[in-house]
Every structure is written in C-alpha cells, then in structure tokens.
C-alpha cells in the first residue's frame, strides 16, 4: 500500500506502476460529465481554485446539507470514466492534474497524456459508495453548483486514506489493456 498525499509531484507519480495499490490523503476534486465538457471547451474554474498537483475524481456524490449548514457526504463511489475520454487528455495538460480517479479505465489518448504530463489513472472500487464516503472527512468547498447541480458540481473533499489502484501509469502501461488481451487469449483456448 503506497500512501500518497496532496499536492502530488511529478516524481511521486512517475514512481507509480500499474497494479500499485495507493491510499490518498488530502484534497480531492470531483468532476464528471458536465465539468469535463465545460473545462475542455474553454470554461474556467472560479478564482483561487487550482487543480495543479491534484486529482480529479469522476464522481457524482450524494451530499446533504445538515441543519447547521455543513455538507455531509452520504455516498461517493466512482462513475464510469470512459465518457470523459474525449476531454481528459486536454484537461490533464491544461490544468496540471497528477491523477484521475474513476472506474472502468480510459483510452489511448488519456494514456498518452498520462505519459506526456506525468499523470496516473487510479481505479476505485465501483459501487463502494459507503466505504469511499467514509474516507471524506470534510467538504471544503463546492464550485459550479448552481450551474451544474449537485452531482455534476466540483466538490473539494478532504479525504483520508482513500483507496485506489493504479491501472494506467505514466509509463504507457494500462492494466485494462493487458487484462483484456490476456483474457481474450485465454478465451480463445477454451472455445
């Protein structure tokens, strides 16, 4: 288990390999479909919000407001990352992301962007909404809430020991590609 914390440096990221299990502590930003499209088409983040050295989490959390006005994260599992493939490479380059967390893996363009800019794709356990919500200690802020609604907004979560697996590293390796090729070869033997 490799501990990682915010902010991440290129050196941290280049040291990671496909198959490494990590636990991330620190600031995590959420973003899903609307935000990806928005940022890739030239949209800006509010002043003071800087993704550099950070991780973007493909997640549409369920967040409730307590009577005292504090946000409480009720469920925060990953959503399917493949939908962001058209936008991800550009966002990694433009905003200096060091990591993307999601589920299901991403394609060749994102893999190339990870290698070029020193970024990794981290796979969280799909469906583990409760375990992952428990890792969120505090909601620090939320952006673009009015514009995109709660699940699609950019949430800043302070997380502790958030578990994920490196499935696409900064050296051009993809666990998804390897497993798919190996499983197809195994199947061919059994037909």
Partner 1 sequence: MRVLQESLIELLRRTSAEMPEDVQRAIARALELERQGTIAESALKIIERNIELARRKSQPICQDTGSILFYADVPVGFDEIAFAAAARQAVRQATANGWLRHNSVDTLTGRNDGTNLGPGSPALHFHQHPSPGTDVRLILKGGGCENVGSQYSLPCERLEADRDLDGCRKVILDAVVQAQGRGCGPGVLGVCLGGDRATSYAFSKTQFLRLLDDRNPVPELDRLEQDILHTANALGIGPMGFGGRTTLLGVKIGAINRLPASFFVSVSYMCWAYRRQGVRLNPDGGIERWLY
C-beta neighbour count of 3 within 10 angstroms:
9
CB of 146 to partner 1, least distance (A): 16
Q: What are phi and psi of 57, to 5 degrees?
A: -105, 120
Residue 14: which residues within 8 A CB-CB, separation 6 or more? Answer: 118, 170, 171
CB of 77 to ligand SF4, least distance (A): 6
- What does 104 interact with, of partner 1, ligand SF4, none (CB < 5 to 8 A by kind)? partner 1
- What does 19 interact with, of ligand SF4, partner 1, none (CB < 5 to 8 A by kind)? partner 1
Looking only at the bridges linking them, the beta strands covering 99-102 and 55-57 are parallel
- Contact positions toward partner 1, by CB under 8 A? 19, 21, 60-62, 64, 74-77, 79-80, 82, 103-105, 123, 125-131, 134, 163, 165, 167, 175-176, 179-180, 182-184, 186-187, 190-191
DSSP tag of 103: B
CB of 90 to partner 1, least distance (A): 23
Site string for ligand SF4, 116-155 (x = CB under 6 A): ----------xx----------------------------
- What does 176 interact with, of ligand SF4, partner 1, none (CB < 5 to 8 A by kind)? partner 1
Strands (E), 6-150: 21-30, 55-57, 62-65, 71-75, 99-102, 120-123, 136-143
- What does 43 interact with, of partner 1, ligand SF4, none (CB < 5 to 8 A by kind)? none
How far apart CA 65 and CA 97 sit, in angstroms, is 29
Contact, 181 vs 159, CB < 8 A? no
CB of 58 to partner 1, least distance (A): 12
Comparison of 58 and 98: residue with beta carbon closer to ligand SF4 = 58
Contact, 100 vs 111, CB < 8 A? no
């Amino acid at each position: 288990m490799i501990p990682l914390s915010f902010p991440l440096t290129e050196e941290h990221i280049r040291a990671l390999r496909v198959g490494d299990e990590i636990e991330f502590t620190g600031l995590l930003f959420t973003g899903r479909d609307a935000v990806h499209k928005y940022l890739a088409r030239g949209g800006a983040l509010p002043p003071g919000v800087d993704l550099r050295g950070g991780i973007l989490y493909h997640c549409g959390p369920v967040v409730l407001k307590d009577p005292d006005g504090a946000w409480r994260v009720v469920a925060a599992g990953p959503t399917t990352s493949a939908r962001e493939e058209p936008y991800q490479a550009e966002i990694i380059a433009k905003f200096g992301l060091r990591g993307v967390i999601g589920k299901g893996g991403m394609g060749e363009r994102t893999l190339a962007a990870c290698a070029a800019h020193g970024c990794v794709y981290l796979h969280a356990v799909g469906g583990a909404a409760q375990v992952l919500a428990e890792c969120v200690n505090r909601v620090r802020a939320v952006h673009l809430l009015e514009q995109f609604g709660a699940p699609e907004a950019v949430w800043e979560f302070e997380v502790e020991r958030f578990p994920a697996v490196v499935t696409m590293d900064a050296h051009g390796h993809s666990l998804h590609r390897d497993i798919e090729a190996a499983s197809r070869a195994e199947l061919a033997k059994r037909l």
